[in-house]
Amino acid sequence: MSDVQTKIRIHVFHTGRVCVSPGLPFKDKEKNPHPVQLTLLSAYGRRQRIWLPVSAYLIEHPQGRLLVDTGWHREISPQGEYSRFAQIRHLGLAHFLLNQGVLPKGEALVEQLARLNIRPKDIDYVLLTHLHSDHASGLKQVKEAKHILVSEEEWQDTKAHAERYVTSMWKGVPIETFAFKETGQGPAGRSFDLFGDGSVEMIQLPGHTSGLAAVKISHGGKFVLLFSDGGYAEKSWQEMIPPGTALDEKKAYQSLQWIREMSQKEECLESLANHDMNVIPHEIVL
């Protein structure tokens, strides 16, 4: 095998941006005492709301092509610009009030893949870190992928906490679930090894949701950690600032401690939050 085929290449894409209330990324009790769910609507929230990037990743692995999350669907911005009407149609009114997005032309995940001559049916696995709208929105655009995987716990959350999800996003999409095993990996000691060789692991990061998974990609003694919404930026684990909202705050904090531990390891090449405004699209070769 040539050198090119044995290496793992990770493409970090931005698929538009998401608008969130100021208390969401970094918990700040003094300035923003209101429940984070309401602040987007309050006068304070309207003035202060911020736009963060929405990342999705392509992993070119010797055993196949993988995507991590799907970013926004073209439907939220048919013309590439902010559209209130298109978003209400795609997200429903309740979600539109909490979580809005914009997707410039050419930035949908499938549009970026097309520039690399990759069609959705060329994708072997779509790995979903969780199913919140800004991660699952693009699902229908990649539904021809060979496998689309999410953890059993996350799938349960979409039923137990349906109000936190836009379930129409995966209507007609053949989602398969995987089971975390007791491996001792991660804050809960549970993970799923995709190829059985330790090169791609989904590691349970409970807190933000029950079934949230980080993706750890390992090769040649180094690893890259994609920690999704386990924190909103590098600053989150550097300064141990938990997000403003979590299904389980205590577990979210423990997950952040694990992210910090992993990110400080010498073998850690990069450790990336999905919505870090300091991360710019780039490629990593491992």
Binding site for Zn ion (CB under 5 A): 134, 229
Q: In this complex, which beta carbon is closest to Zn ion, that of residue 20 or of residue 269? A: 20
In whole angstroms, the minimum distance from the beta carbon of 116 to Zn ion comes to 24
Work out how close the CB of 134 gets to Zn ion at its nearest, in angstroms, rounded to a whole number. 4
DSSP, collapsed to helix, strand or coil, labels residue 213 as strand
Backbone φ and ψ of 259, nearest 5°: -60, -40
Distance CA 90, CA 220 (A): 42
Shortest distance, CB of residue 275 to Zn ion, whole angstroms?
A: 6
Task: Please give the full DSSP string across 162-182, using - where no structure is assigned.
Answer: GGGS-GGGGTT--EEEE--EE
Cβ contact 217:8 at 8 Å:
yes
| Shortest separation between residue 228's beta carbon and Zn ion, angstroms | 7
Phi, psi at 202, each rounded to 5°: -100, 120
Q: What is the CA radius of gyration of the chain?
A: 18
Alpha helices (H) in the chain, listed in sequence order: 3-6, 36-39, 43-48, 84-91, 93-98, 109-115, 133-136, 152-160, 234-238, 249-263
Q: Provide the minimum distance between the beta carbon of 21 and Zn ion in the complex, in angstroms, as a whole number.
A: 13
Q: Which is nearer to Zn ion, 157 or 229 (CB)?
A: 229
Query: Residue 64 or residue 92: which is nearer to Zn ion going by CB?
Result: 92
Least distance from Zn ion to the Cβ atom of residue 62, Å: 29
For residues 229 and 270, which CB has a smaller minimum distance to Zn ion in the complex? 229
| Separation CA 225–CA 228 (nearest Å) | 9
